[in-house]
Amino acid sequence: MSNFSKNWERKEQPGLSSRIRGSVNPPGPLKPRLEQAVRSIQLQMQKLDIANQRFQERDRMMFNKVVDAYSKHDIDHAKIYANELAEIRKMSKMLMQAKMALEQIVMRLSTVTELGDIVMTLAPAMGVIRNVRSGISSLLPEAERELGDISTVLSGILVDAGQSGGLSLNFESANEDAQKILGEAAVVAEQRVKEKFPELPAGIGTGEKTGF
C-alpha cells in the first residue's frame, strides 16, 4: 500500500461492514481535516446568507424611496436613490456569487472518496476561495480572515496528500477549473438578482456590473 493510501485509510484491520463503509468514505488522518474544513466553509456560507439578508432589506427600503420620489416626479432624487440602490444590489450580487461558488467547493470536497482525487479537487477549491476572499474583503473583513484560515488548512492537506501520493499539481488546469466555478456562480447570481429584486421605473437605470 502506498504512503498516500496509508494517510487516508485506517491502519488497523476493520470488520467487513467497516471495510465496506471505508471503501465509500475512507477514514484516516486527512479525512477528518477535510471534513472540518468543509464545516468551516459551510459556516462562512451561513454568514454570507445573513449578510445578504441585510442587504436585501436595505434594497427594499431604498427601492421604496426610488418609487416614492418617482411618483412625485422628483427625478433628481429618484436617480440619487437609484444609484444607492445599484450599489446595494452590486454588493448583494457579490455575496450571492460568493456563496454559490463556496457551495460548489463544498459539494466537491464532500464527494472526495479517493486520495487520488484530493489534489485535483483541492487545487481549484483554493483558487475559488482566494477569489471569494478578495471579493468580500471590504464587505465582511471577519469572513475574509476566516476564509484565509480555511485556505491555510486546505493548503496543508494538499501538500500532505501530494507528498504521500507522489502527485504533481497542474496549476493551469486548476486555475481553469476555478474560473469555471466562479463563472457559473456569476451567471446564477445574475439570474437570482433579477428574480429577487424588482425592476426600477423606466428611465432610471443603474447599468451596474459586478463579479469577481
Report pLDDT digits (tens) over 46-104.
999 999 999 999 999 999 999 999 889 998 999 999 999 999 999 999 999 999 999 99
Question: 59, 206 in Cβ contact below 8 A?
Answer: no
pTM of the entire predicted model = 0.74
By residue count, the chain amounts to: 212
What is the DSSP secondary structure assignment for residue 11, as one 8-state letter? S
Identify the pLDDT of residue 13: 41
Rounded mean pLDDT, 141-169: 80
Measure the CA–CA gap between 48 and 149, rounded to whole angstroms. Answer: 17
User: What is the band of 30 on the pLDDT scale with cuts at 50, 70, 90?
Assistant: confident
Selected residue with higher pLDDT from 40 and 166: 40
Average pLDDT estimate for 5-31: 45
pLDDT over 60 (residue 16) = no
Q: What is the pLDDT of residues 171-194, one digit of tens each?
A: 667 788 889 999 999 999 988 888
Scanning the structure block, which residue is given the C-alpha cell 472526495?
Answer: 112
Q: pLDDT confidence of 170, banded at 50, 70, 90?
A: low
Locate the domains of the chain by residue range: 30-196
34, 113 Cβ separation under 8 angstroms: no
AA letter at 48 = L
Q: What pLDDT is stored for residue 9 in this prediction?
A: 46
* 90 vs 82: CA distance, rounded Å: 12
Phi, psi of 200 (to 5 degrees): -75, 160
Name the H helices within the chain: 3-6, 16-24, 30-71, 75-110, 115-136, 141-165, 171-196
Q: What average pLDDT does the chain have?
A: 79
